[in-house]
Amino acid sequence: MNYHKRKFRAVINTVNCEISSETVFEYIQEGSVLSAQYQGGQVVKGHISGLVDDQGYIEMHYHQVNQKGEVSKGMCYSRPEILSNGKIRLHEAWKSASGDISEGSSILDEI
């Protein structure tokens, strides 16, 4: 699975998540190396770096700055699902490594 130049938007999040449907992720993939920039909603600017395995699963780390001027970081695991329209849905489980050290989940759909 290749995520190069694909864009995603959150459709479902746990309450403790700063990303929202206003947050857009733009992925770049070179081989198994994945990176992304994202922004929108409460997130002023965010970056992702990670790896994609043969089944399209992603292991990544993120860091972002929110509207309050706070920096947060953490790790995330994403499981892809191919939707009936051919687009990708990502089922994410994340854990913050800053602030309240919370955990949560998100679902992102390709736009």
Residue 1 lies in a domain: no
Confidence of residue 71 (pLDDT cuts 50, 70, 90): very high
* pLDDT tens readout for residues 75-90: 999 999 999 999 999 9
pLDDT, tens digit (0-9, with 9 covering 90-100), for 32-45: 999 999 999 999 99
Query: Going along 21-70, which residue ranges are E strands?
Result: 24-30, 33-40, 43-52, 58-66
Residue 62 pLDDT class (50, 70, 90 cuts)? very high
Residue 97: per-residue pLDDT? 85
Say which residues have a Cβ less than 8 Å from residue 87's Cβ, sequence separation at least 6: 109, 110
Determine the pLDDT at residue 17: 75
Cα gap 88→18, rounded to integer Å? 22
Residue 16 has pLDDT above 90, yes or no: no
15 is a domain residue: yes
The residue that leads in pLDDT, 105 or 7, is: 7
pLDDT tier at 61 (50, 70, 90 boundaries)? very high
110 lies in a domain?
Answer: no
Number of domains in the chain: 1
Tokens of 70: 């706070």
Residues spanned by the domain of 28: 6-104
Q: Is residue 109 part of a domain?
A: no
Q: Does 30 map to a domain?
A: yes
Whether residue 58 has pLDDT greater than 90? yes
The CATH number for 69's domain is 2.40.128
